[in-house]
Each structure stands twice: as C-alpha cells, then as structure tokens.
Amino acid sequence: CGAGESGGPRRVGGAGGSGPGLRRPKKLPQLFERASSKWWNPKFDSNNLEEACMERCFPQTQRRFRYALFYIGVACLLWGIYFGIHMREKQIVFMVPALCFLLVCVAFFVFTFTKTYARHYVWTSLILTLLVFALTLAPQFQALKPVSGSGDMSNRTPPADPTDTCLSQVGSFSMCIEVLLLLYTVMHLPLYLSLFLGLLYSVLFETFGYHFRDENCFTPLGAGAVYWELLSKAFLHICIHAIGIHLFIMSEVRSRSTFLKVGQSIMHGKDLEVEKALKERMIHSVMPRIIADDLMKQGDDESENSVKRHSTSSPKNRKKKPSIQKTPIIFRPFKMQQIEQVSILFADIVGFTKMSANKSAHALVGLLNDLFGRFDRLCEDTKCEKISTLGDCYYCVAGCPEPRADHAYCCIEMGLGMIKAIEQFCQEKKEMVNMRVGVHTGTVLCGILGMRRFKFDVWSNDVNLANLMEQLGVAGKVHISEATAKYLDDRYEMEDGKVIERVGQSVVADQLKGLKTYLISGQKVKEPHCSCSQALLPGLESGDGAKTQGASSAEKASESTKALKHPDKPKPCPSCSTTLAPHCDVSVEEGAIQNGCQDEHKNSTKAPGGHSPKTQNGLLSPPQEEKLSNSQTSLYEMLQEKGRWGGVSLDQSALLPLRFKNIREKTDAHFVDVIKEDSLMKDYFFKPPINKLSLNFLDQDLEMDYRTSYQEEVIRNAPVKTFASATFSSLLDVFLSTTVFLILSITCFLKHGMVASPPPPAAVVVFIIAILLEVLSLVISIRMAFFLEEVMACTKRLLEVISGWLPRHFFGAILVSLPALAVFSHFTSDFETNIH
C-alpha cells in the first residue's frame, strides 16, 4: 500500500473538539439496546419491555424446555439400556433410578401444557435442574478401575467381581458436560443463578468423585498426580462454564435484540400507516375521494414497480450506481370526465374591501380562515364538493364527480347556510359584511390538469354562467338560474331576479341571453313537504336536526338513477312516508361516502354563541365530535391525532429532566400495546420463516441479505453498539475459541507432568501453529470491530474479502477444529494415560 492509500490514524491539530480526524471512542458495547446495567442478569431497563419480551418469548422458552425434557428422557432410556446390558449384577441399582426419572420427565412434559406452568416455569426449571443434579451426582460414588498393562481397549474390568460394575471417568464426566450445557442453554434460569448452580455442581461433582472413590474401581493415585488431575479437571470445568455463559448471554442478547427489532419494525409499519392515512386525508382535502383514491392507487403501483426494479438489481450493480438517474416523473395519466346535471355555486363576500382597509394582512387572513372554515364544514353537511377559493370568492359544486339527484337542493342549502354563517360571523367579530351567492345547473368537465401543485377543477360555459349569477346577485340572497329552479319544489321563498331593473336590459341580452333568474331568501315558514331537508344544516339552527333513516343502498341507487332519468317525477320519501317534490332525494344510507364526504346527516347542535373555532398552525380546528371524513375539513385534527404521542410540549421543556422517566414509561407502554396487537411478533419468535433443517431463510432474497450483512457492516465501517453487532459477535466467538484452545492445550501438557514424560513433538508443533492462527484471527477480529478506520486501504480490502460468507466460514471451521486437533496430538499408545 502506498502512503496515499493509507487509512491510518490522522493527527488532529488543536485541543478539544470532535472533528472527523478524531478516533471514535473504543469501549465495550452494551449487551443490547435498552439493556440494564446489571450484566449478570441480562434484562431491559424497562419493566414494561421486559414483561412484554418474556411474554413473547415464552412460547420459545416452553418449546426449548420440552426439547430438554425429550433429550433427558432419551438419555435416561439409553442409559437404562446400557446398564441393563453391561451391569447385570446391579441392574436394579442403575435401571430403576433411570426409568423412574424417565417417568418424571414425561410428567414434566405433560405439565408444560397447563396454564400453571406459564406462571411457574422458572420454578419448574429449577426443580428439574436439582433432580438432574441428584441423579447424575449419584454415579460419582463409584468409578470403574481401568485395566492396566493390557492391550484390551475396553474401559471396564471383567465382570467376574460383582463390585467391578462401575461407571468410568469418561462416562461420568460426559454426563457432567451434558448437565452443565443443559443448565446454561435450555433451563432458562437467571444467569447469576445458573452460574451459582453450575459452579456448585462442578465442585460437588469433583468432591464426590475424589472423596467417595471406590477402591475396587479406582487405582489409588500418588499425592502429586492427584493435584495435577484436579487442576486439569478444573481447567476443563472452566472451559465448559465459559462456553455455557457465552451461549447463555448471546441467546439472551439475540432474543431481546430480535424483540426490539421486530417491535421497531411493527412500529415503523404503524407509522407508515399513519403517514399513509395522513397523506390520504391531505389529498382528500384538496380533491374528491374518488379522484384521490384513483391517483393514490396509481402512485402505489408505480412505487411497487420501482421497488421491484431496485430489489432485482444485484448488490454489485447497486454499489456501482450510488445514485439513481433522474427520469421524468409520470404521476398520473390525463383524465377528464363530462358530467351532466351538476349545480355550481359561486359566493363572494360583500364589503370585504371595506373590512380589509383597516386590518393587517395577518388579521385579515385569520378572519378569512375562520369564515372559510365554517363554509368548509357547511360544505360537508350539505354534501357539496369544494372546488377552490380565490381571495374572498368561494365556489363549490354538487353532483360532481359523483352524480346525485338532489344536487340543486345541496347548493341552495349551501348558499342559505353561508348567508346564515356570515351573519353569525358578523355578530361574533363585530363586522359588517354579507354574502352574494349565485347558483346555476348544467354540464361540466371535471378533472385534474398539470403535474405540480395540481388540483381538482371544473370547466364549462355553465361554470362561467354560475359565476355571472353571483356577480348579478343580491347580498343576503341566493341568485339561481331557471335551469336550477326546475330541480326545486316550492319549499323556498322564491322571487323573480329582476336583473333588468338592477343592471339593465343590455346585460340580460348580452350575457344572460334571455335566461330567467330567481332570488331565494330562505325556506317558507309553512311545514315543508319533506322533513329530510331539515337535517341538511346541522349546527346552524337552535334545535337538533332530524336524522334520516336511509333505505338500503341498492334501493337508493335505483331511485337516484330513476330521478336522473325522470327529473319531474315525484317519488316517496322513505323517512317521512310522504311524497317529495321532484329531485328531492336526501335519504342516504348512513356511513355511505359520496363526493369525498361522509354521506351521513349529523344531528350535532351548534356551539354556543360567541365561541369561535380555534386556530392553530394556521389550520382550522373542527368540532371534536365530528369525524374528519371529507375533502373540506381542516387538517388540524389529523395533525393533532398524529402528534398524540409526539412527546412533551414546549412549555413543559423545563420539566423534561424530572418527567423523563415517566415519559419513557408511557412510551414503552404504548410500544407494548402496539406490538401486542400485531401477529408479526408471535410469528417471528414461535414460527420464524426459516428451514428447520438447514436454518436458512425461506425467502432467498432475505437469505442473501443476511449472508452479506456482515461484509456490508465491514464495508460501511458500522460502529459497534451492542453485543448483537455482527463484527463484535464474531469477535466474541474467536475470543472464546482462543480461550478454550489455550485451556485445553495447558490441560494436555499437564498430563505429562503427572507421568514425568516430555510431550510428543507433534503436539508441540500443532500448538505453535494453532496458537499463531488463533492470535492472528483474534487480532483481525479486533481490527474489524474497533479499529477498521485505522487500517491501510489494501488491508481493508483484504479484510472485506475475508469477511465474505464463504471465506469467513472456512476460517471459522479451522478455528473450531483446532482444540480437537490439539487434544488428538497428545494421544499415545498408552490407553490409561489417554483416559486421564
């Protein structure tokens, strides 16, 4: 490597600071995210998280305990068969305890299916552990005397002497290893308790084996040989405990890390759902629901296709192309729709210029926001579809983009409601303004134009005529055309428009082209033909509006279709059992959605006088009891709903240190509540998507990502934060392998101190080569975990190659084989020495 390619440590000038040249701090990472400070008892620092993790991990714990019972039961059965064949003189002494314990294992296995086990599984594991200890310590009261000086490789003396039916040291020590590994891996006791019981078992095992030595089974050892043997066995026990503790800690680390990762994945999924709902509501607030749903469906399809194209590309190609080339974004195809029988409403504030003369821009916008917010809710109640606002002008339509038979009534009620709303506004704000409203019915073209900042709009000559109706109207009244009047009955106070008297004959001839117009000042005082229309203006009358009971959706659809075909044919009202005037169809199924609004007649009462809606962040807050379900409602409520779990408000920031613990507990409780409702956690813990034989992921893409994760972590030089990190976990494995190799090698060399003979030359050569490989692997692992940014560029490229899936497993297999190779290198032709 040249000097220019060096990635070694860089000198940093000046004192202090945390510039890019400084080394990142090298310290031992925590066990897992949110781990408590008690490393001897790995658990979360939150009781809520710990309880939820234990609850979710319980099926896995239960299954492991059953596996342990099955293994112990099979071992008892095999030992019983062995004792029955080779120890016929004492069959009862050996077989009865083994078979009885087999029955105990069956009883424990059945007990695991009860609810009592779920509450007391720790005590159950403790009782089983103590029973296993007692059963396996019993053979230590006698051991088998090996035959010295003979070439027979049998490990037991001829059965001529009845007392020679003993268990060999190898057989008893193998049971010790089994018990200790079962204790650390599947009994699921706390680490401190497992370590205490394990050390106690090791001490009792060797104590009983030494003090209760049967002279008929053992040849007495010399004073020096006894100490060498005890020291060697102590080293072997240290190896077993080191392996067991490593397995225990890493099992706890991985289970809790998986719990957090899956939980965070669920939370991210919920956040995406909230973001999607917020996006949908925002889009619904600027365009009708049917148009918005179509656009979002097209956008989702394009996103899925983009993800598939990106996922099918190989990792190498992704590395070569760090940035995606910009291409023209096709958000949607051009789509326009022609709809007949649509009522268009234009409204303008009379006196707005005078009102704005003595107000600042901020105050004026606030008043408009308040007033238009009332119009938005009124638009929802009257089933109209808001199109836009321009200055003090407000216009909407009814019967578009989804046709409806009562479109004219919707616009008339909307106009009358706007007049009443602005009267209430004037009383509250002490202003002198009024509304001039114009309505016309005809044919429109509706759709969305443009690629950026687009919006739903309508176009046609009838739209222009509706605008003209507003300009020629009278303040405080609804100016309608003759086309709109054909769809109305006599429930309204209607008079001639008298446009000629107000604006002159030339305007009527040039612009209206002889079209007759009318002015509506309100509903007639007499009882209306249909009480359904009373529900169209909730919140504007002092009493509650009558809520209609809708017929079935199929019947209403049929009636609506007939009404469109025969506008002059009266039909019965399903709610009041009377005959409606032509085009009166306000009975709608509760909960049905039309024109992007919730098609339900609300009967909520009006807020007390003088109480104006709140304005926050420039967004109008709707009444809390109303559902935000149409395209006109303010965005404040949905933002408020999204920020419900956002944390502490600014005015409480000073109390944050004192309330941090309480806030964290609430956050953890919310986290637990969310993941409890999702089945993903249970599936990943109890039924993970892996092959039970090969342990590979069933999804090939997921398997490939898993295999490249270690190498990508090395390439990205990802910092080590927890024990679950791939590089640090590998470092622990290599460190354990090196430790076990050294202890086993020392133990093997101690054997030659017992017999005062030099070790075999092959053993010395194997030890030197193996220790060099172990130390080299340990240094490389430390470099990968902590000091990767300080190596040269060529060295880093070499480490990246070594961190690949196949090279890493090849070198790992060599390291795993070194302890066994070291033991086999000490074997000689002396069988008795080999046993020791």
Confidence of residue 333 (pLDDT cuts 50, 70, 90): low
- Per-residue pLDDT, 125: 93
Averaged pLDDT, 553-562: 41
Contact 592, 630 (CB under 8 A): no
Whether the pLDDT of residue 673 is over 80: the answer is yes
Q: Enumerate residues 6+ apart whose C-beta is below 8 A from 147.
A: 154, 157
- Per-residue pLDDT, 614: 37
Confidence of residue 619 (pLDDT cuts 50, 70, 90): very low
Contact 747, 236 (CB under 8 A): yes
- Per-residue pLDDT, 412: 92
Confidence of residue 775 (pLDDT cuts 50, 70, 90): very high
Nearest to 744 by CA among 665, 801, 821: 821
Distance CA(279)–CA(366), nearest Å, equals: 25
Whether the pLDDT of residue 23 is over 50: the answer is no
The tally of CA atoms less than 13 A away on the side-chain side of residue 435 is 29
Structure tokens at 354: 């005078």
Confidence of residue 656 (pLDDT cuts 50, 70, 90): low
Distance CA(221)–CA(280), nearest Å, equals: 84
- Per-residue pLDDT, 829: 56
Supply the mean pLDDT for the chain: 74
Structure tokens at 54: 């234990």
Q: Enumerate residues 6+ apart whose C-beta is below 8 A from 649.
A: none
Distance CA(521)–CA(495), nearest Å, equals: 8
| 164, amino acid identity | D
Averaged pLDDT, 38-44: 83
Structure tokens at 410: 């919707």
Residue 362 phi/psi, 5° resolution? -65, -45
- Per-residue pLDDT, 214: 60
Structure tokens at 265: 């994945």
Which has the minimum average pLDDT: 22-31, 212-221, 533-542, 731-740?
Answer: 533-542
Which residue carries 């069988």 as its tokens?
Answer: 831
Whether the pLDDT of residue 18 is over 50: the answer is no
- Per-residue pLDDT, 778: 92
Helices (H), 442-569: 461-471, 482-485, 499-503, 505-507, 553-565
- The string of pLDDT tens digits covering residues 371-386 is 888 999 999 899 898 8
Which has the minimum average pLDDT: 235-249, 617-631, 773-787?
Answer: 617-631
- The string of pLDDT tens digits covering residues 122-159 is 999 999 999 999 988 887 765 444 444 444 434 444 44
H/E element, 685: helix 680-686
According to DSSP, residue 644 is labeled: G
- Per-residue pLDDT, 832: 54
Whether the pLDDT of residue 635 is over 50: the answer is no
Averaged pLDDT, 555-582: 42
Whether the pLDDT of residue 329 is over 80: the answer is no
Q: How far is CA 377 from CA 22, 36, 350, 437, 498, in A?
A: 59, 52, 21, 17, 32
- Per-residue pLDDT, 536: 44
Strands 456-459, 478-481: pairing kind:
unpaired
Instruction: Say what percent of the chain tops pLDDT 90.
Output: 20
Distance CA(496)–CA(509), nearest Å, equals: 17
Whether the pLDDT of residue 13 is over 50: the answer is no
Distance CA(593)–CA(402), nearest Å, equals: 10
Confidence of residue 643 (pLDDT cuts 50, 70, 90): very low
CATH, domain range 336-601+626-634: 3.30.70.1230
Averaged pLDDT, 434-459: 84
Which residue carries 């899956």 as its tokens?
Answer: 262
Averaged pLDDT, 670-675: 84
Cα angle 803, 808, 812; round to 5: 145
DSSP string across 588-629 = --TTEEETTEEE----PPPPPTT-PPPEETTEEPPPTTS---
Whether the pLDDT of residue 306 is over 60: the answer is no
Structure tokens at 820: 């066994």
Residue 351 phi/psi, 5° resolution? 95, 15
Distance CA(260)–CA(681), nearest Å, equals: 10
Q: Is the pTM of this model over 0.85?
A: no
**Tally of residues, the chain:** 836
Radius of gyration, CA atoms only, the chain: 42
Whether the pLDDT of residue 809 is over 70: the answer is yes
Distance CA(397)–CA(417), nearest Å, equals: 15
Q: Give Cα 189 distance to the centre of its chain.
A: 30
Handedness of CA 616, 617, 618, 623 (dihedral sign): negative
Whether the pLDDT of residue 187 is over 80: the answer is yes
Q: Enumerate residues 6+ apart whose C-beta is below 8 A from 646.
A: none
Averaged pLDDT, 198-210: 89
Whether the pLDDT of residue 590 is over 50: the answer is no
H/E element, 38: none
- Per-residue pLDDT, 806: 92
Strands 478-481, 434-448: pairing kind:
parallel
Whether the pLDDT of residue 296 is over 90: the answer is no
Helices (H), 313-448: 315-320, 352-357, 361-381, 407-429
For 689, the 3-state DSSP assignment is coil
Nearest to 64 by CA among 112, 111, 14: 112
Contact 336, 454 (CB under 8 A): no
Instruction: Say what percent of the chain tops pLDDT 70.
Output: 69
Distance CA(388)–CA(395), nearest Å, equals: 6
- Per-residue pLDDT, 56: 85
Averaged pLDDT, 403-422: 91
Confidence of residue 438 (pLDDT cuts 50, 70, 90): very high
Handedness of CA 617, 622, 625, 627 (dihedral sign): negative
Phi-psi region of 36 (alpha: psi -120 to 50; beta: other; left: phi over 0): beta
Domain boundaries, the chain: 35-267, 336-601+626-634, 687-836
Averaged pLDDT, 36-41: 81
